[in-house]
Homo-oligomer: A and B are copies of this chain.
Amino acid sequence: MEFSSKLIEQAVNEMAQLPGIGKRTALRLVLHMLKQPAEQVKFLSEALLKMREEIKFCKSCHNISDEEVCDICSNPRRNQSLICVVEDIRDVMAIENTRQFNGIYHVLGGKIAPIEGIGPSQLNINSLVEKVKLGGVDELIFALSSTMEGDTTVFYIYKQLKGVEVKISTIARGIAVGDELEYADEVTLGRSILQRVPYENAMKSS
């Protein structure tokens, strides 16, 4: 692609570094910005910069936060003895949207993935183990994705907590609500039978 302007070229190249945005899309976005009032682009540019430079991570759960301790951790109405362990900030948002969870979170920041060079020390695992060892935590719910990396991460933390008195559970795996059985994969369908729940419990959905 040839640009008649270095300024455009630079803007396109920077935009195209974002995941899922190729050069063509980047150009479309940049040309759109050119048609917008300069203020609009200033707002965008400043919002991104400010977000990146001022964002804090909650001291306690490592969720993104505008304060030292996030709104969830500092909320007295949340159950501080029930911790849901997730990979990512997006998982916190997804679970919050269900309005089914009243505990607090612990964001690991990823999964153990030796192939990508991510070991336990790069994740927020130590702070979780210490928090549990300090006491006051009744249960850890692991809500990690059901992949080899996710399972490895859960197992690693499980081993670290050997001997510590805390209940450890994982979110239920099964057939998604509304899905048809015949299209479910065998592993999920198999697990959903082995881990069947009493009918009365299943009805307590919300």
Which residues of A are in contact with B by a Cβ distance under 8 Å?
Answer: 1-8, 10-11, 13-15, 17-21, 25, 27-34, 36, 38, 40-55, 63-66, 70-72, 88-90, 92-93, 96-97
Cβ 8 A contact of A55, one of B8, B13, B66, B96: B8
A50's nearest neighbour on chain B, judged by CB, is B7
Q: Is the CB of A46 within 8 A of B47?
A: no
Q: Is the CB of B33 within 8 A of A28?
A: no
Given known pairs A28-B20, A32-B18, A48-B11, the reply for A4 and B41 (CB within 8 Å) is: no
Given known pairs A6-B66, A20-B25, A93-B1, the reply for A11 and B41 (CB within 8 Å) is: no
Q: Is the CB of A28 within 8 A of B32?
A: no
Cβ 8 A contact of A30, one of B4, B7, B13, B51: B51
Given known pairs A44-B48, A48-B41, the reply for A27 and B64 (CB within 8 Å) is: no
* Docked complex Cα distance between A82 and B3 (Å): 21
Given known pairs A7-B50, A10-B47, A93-B1, the reply for A28 and B19 (CB within 8 Å) is: yes
Cβ 8 A contact of A52, one of B33, B48, B54, B97: B33
Residues of B within 8 A of A34 (CB): 51-52, 55, 64, 89
Q: Is the CB of A63 within 8 A of B4?
A: yes
A72's nearest neighbour on chain B, judged by CB, is B4
Residues of B within 8 A of A13 (CB): 47
Per CB-CB distance, the 6 closest pairs between chain A and chain B, nearest first, are A41-B52, A11-B51, A14-B44, A45-B49, A14-B47, A7-B51
* Docked complex Cα distance between A11 and B32 (Å): 18
Most buried by B among A21, A30, A51, A55: A51
